[in-house]
Structure 1
């Protein structure tokens, strides 16, 4: 049965707002939480980028919902050994209800130390080794790792959960999706793409969980909702590798000027029509996604949670 969760946007909301939204989500009947991990927002208008691990610690005390990072890049900005420690602590805080979602990252977040931005194949190679390092450290033994990309010397994590932390791997194309099937305990995506879900399952993913995130802009005034969605999140409609290769929020703002407003209307559930919101979620259900996470773009948080609790979630569940 498909599970509906709430997507916490670290790019758009400050830490206290994220905690408040998580509490509201639990009260409204959402079953899980996704939380993005960014150093920069996609554009300046989004305006936020809190450190995700601090927010997760607060979430563990504020709600009882499971949490997945969507997604952390454990390859450049933060060494995989540090991600291993952070994830182990998060799993302890959340009583084992934590999933480490990982991906190969974007230049937007990972170029900040001045390192060259690797080609896609190299980024996937780095991700695979990083996951290996994290799993080694999560065994609780002393680790000495001499790999192509990472070195770990006499390292041991002492604070560990009772059960191993599940690691889900994101993928937006066939190559990354096959890697997710080979090394992941689950798969993360942001597209209702039945073909990629089938690729994951056929390549070894089997019946492991598939998670996906999506965004809506609930507002009583449809024009207000469209204006906001287009101004804040038109970056989601940029084609090809732009999302992975553009290095600055300003670059995304420039590229977003090429996205037509009508494309934004078609991409997001805009306004207050419950059926439009249900339709967007059902696209993911029909694609074979097991867990769907919904983010509210709009500023009317009260209206969103009220509508989803009373009109939308009951129909989907």
Structure 2
């Protein structure tokens, strides 16, 4: 059965609002919630970037049934993997087994702030693979000493471990990532409906005799009773997507994203993101993900100040339509 999720987008809302939105999203029937982990918004118009981990802890305490994901945390630069392991174990205790640790190789936008430069794409994958090994070893609960190519762990132990082990979902966007990371993950994350990546991930895991995991995707929508308002808001806050991942991973600041996307037109955004009141258009935008083999699909409602109206007016009929057509 396909599950449908709600995105707690830290780039567009403050921490108290995010927790409130999380509670409302559970009440209207979303199956799971994903929380971004940013140091900066993509564009200044989004206006926020609270720390994801206190938010996740508060959401875990304030909700009772929805699954929760970090979506995604980079465990290689801004955070040491030993710290990520401790954070994840603590959130899993608070969530009583509902949390999945989503990991990825990161973006310059968030990781450059610690002043360690920005590695090449291949090096970032190598760092992520080593970080996952550190995190898994710490999840075992024993004293860990580790010396790798990128990380050192000195006599570390997680003293508070959850009864339900933390699953790992890892973002993979190409064949090299799949080959390197598929067997290290429990679940796959990809923000594009790329059936080749999904099939490659399954193939790698089947070859090692590993169990099937979930495939978790995400896409933006801009619901609004007025389509023109929705298009304008999507252009103002979400045109950053137009550069594609090779660009998005490397730009360092919101100002850089603004400059890189200054020639993106509202019509360009509207052709890529469903905008306005038409719920059927959102269902059709989700369909390629289901068809590509995604089991879990999270929606981003663009605009922090539109979440209450979206959740009150659109979410229930939209979930009904999604489950009827794609569930």
TM-score by length of 1: 0.96
Take 2:247 and 2:254, find their aligned partners in 1: how far apart are those partners? 12
The aligned runs of 1:197-216 (5 Å cut-off) are 197-204=198-205, 207-216=212-221
Q: Which deviations, in whole Å up to 9, do the C-alpha atoms of 1:243-300 show, x marking residues without a partner?
A: 1111111000111113232221121110001111111122211111000111111443
Question: How big is the shift at 1:142?
Answer: 0.4
Question: How big is the shift at 1:311?
Answer: 2.2
Any idea what SS the aligned residue of 1:263 has?
Answer: helix
Take 2:128 and 2:15, find their aligned partners in 1: how far apart are those partners? 28
Any idea what SS the aligned residue of 1:158 has?
Answer: coil
2:319 is matched with which residue? Answer: 313
2:93 is matched with which residue? Answer: 92
1:256 aligns with 2:257: no
Question: How big is the shift at 1:307?
Answer: 4.1
1:82 aligns with 2:87: no
Q: Which deviations, in whole Å up to 9, do the C-alpha atoms of 1:143-191 show, x marking residues without a partner?
A: 0001111111111110000132111110122222333312110011111
Preserved CA contact (<8 Å) 1:215 1:297? yes
Any idea what SS the aligned residue of 2:5 has?
Answer: strand
Preserved CA contact (<8 Å) 1:168 1:180? no
Deviates more, 1:238-247 or 1:181-190: 238-247
The aligned runs of 1:122-271 (5 Å cut-off) are 122-204=123-205, 207-239=212-244, 241-271=246-276
Long gaps (5+) in structure 2: none
Any idea what SS the aligned residue of 2:93 has?
Answer: helix
Take 1:189 and 1:105, find their aligned partners in 2: how far apart are those partners? 13
Any idea what SS the aligned residue of 1:294 has?
Answer: strand
Take 2:263 and 2:185, find their aligned partners in 1: how far apart are those partners? 35
Take 2:198 and 2:263, find their aligned partners in 1: how far apart are those partners? 30
Take 1:51 and 1:154, find their aligned partners in 2: how far apart are those partners? 27
Preserved CA contact (<8 Å) 2:4 2:30? yes
1:278 aligns with 2:280: no
Any idea what SS the aligned residue of 1:45 has?
Answer: coil
Report the count of equivalent residues: 317
Q: 1:248 to 1:23 in 2, by over 3 A?
A: same
Q: 1:180 to 1:263 in 2, by over 3 A?
A: farther
Question: How big is the shift at 1:18?
Answer: 0.8
Q: Which deviations, in whole Å up to 9, do the C-alpha atoms of 1:96-152 show, x marking residues without a partner?
A: 111000000011111112212111111000001101001111111000001111111
Question: How big is the shift at 1:313?
Answer: 1.0
1:14 is matched with which residue? Answer: 14
Take 1:82 and 1:310, find their aligned partners in 2: how far apart are those partners? 38
2:48 is matched with which residue? Answer: 48
Any idea what SS the aligned residue of 1:213 has?
Answer: strand
TM-score by length of 2: 0.94
